[in-house]
Amino acid sequence: MYSPILNPEQINFRESNPQEDSIIAQHFYQIWRDNDVPADSIKADWLELTLQFISQARQELYYKAFVVAVGNLVVGSASCQLFNGLYPNILVEEYRNYGYIWNVYVESPYRNQGLAKKLISLACDYLKLLGCTRAVLHASPLGEPVYDRLGFQQSNQMHLDLTE
């Protein structure tokens, strides 16, 4: 696969703006496709659902996204927010105030050049500003090596396929 050699002067990392939410949503869709989820297994209204989620997370969970642009073309993004939890949170904030990183995506021609690493760093810095004590994410097989190199640790999450 062709990877253009990037001129550092052309690369711009920044916070995304709401007008770019559709690009963020497209990246989210593409993550699933890159992980071999068939298109017919993704809801037809995926764009609307993702935009609604982003809007609600922005209002309630301090959602923020970061993008990397090469020239005027956004080629990658990462989203983050406060982790809402999966069960009642009975722990004091100082012990458990988690942030969640999701939708880390770099278009394939621009991968393996450190762009995802920088996006993750920006997300972590933002979560620290929010007072988060830990950043949590779910890694795809493609993303695992990146997260490992950044110091993310495997957790005790387990799953059972109930379709078999």
For residue 158, is it within any domain?
A: no
Q: What is the mean pLDDT of residues 149-158?
A: 85
CATH number at residue 63: 3.40.630.30
When the pLDDT of each residue in the chain is averaged and rounded to a whole number, the result is: 91
For residue 140, is it within any domain?
A: yes
Q: What is the mean pLDDT of residues 14-24?
A: 97
For residue 66, is it within any domain?
A: yes
- pLDDT for 3 beyond 70: no
Q: Which domain holds residue 104?
A: 8-149
For residue 1, is it within any domain?
A: no
pLDDT at 1: 55
For residue 115, is it within any domain?
A: yes
- pLDDT digits over 128-146, tens only? 999 999 999 999 888 899 9
DSSP characters for the chain? ---PPPPGGGEEEEE--GGGHHHHHHHHHHHHHHTT--GGGS-TTHHHHHHHHHHHHHHHS--EEEEEEETTEEEEEEEEEE---SS---S-TTT--EEEEEEEEE-GGG-SSSHHHHHHHHHHHHHHHTT-SEEE----TTTHHHHHHTT----------TT-
- pLDDT for 106 beyond 70: yes
For residue 161, is it within any domain?
A: no
pLDDT at 19: 96
Whole-model pTM: value is 0.90
For residue 2, is it within any domain?
A: no
Domain count, the chain: 1
For residue 163, is it within any domain?
A: no
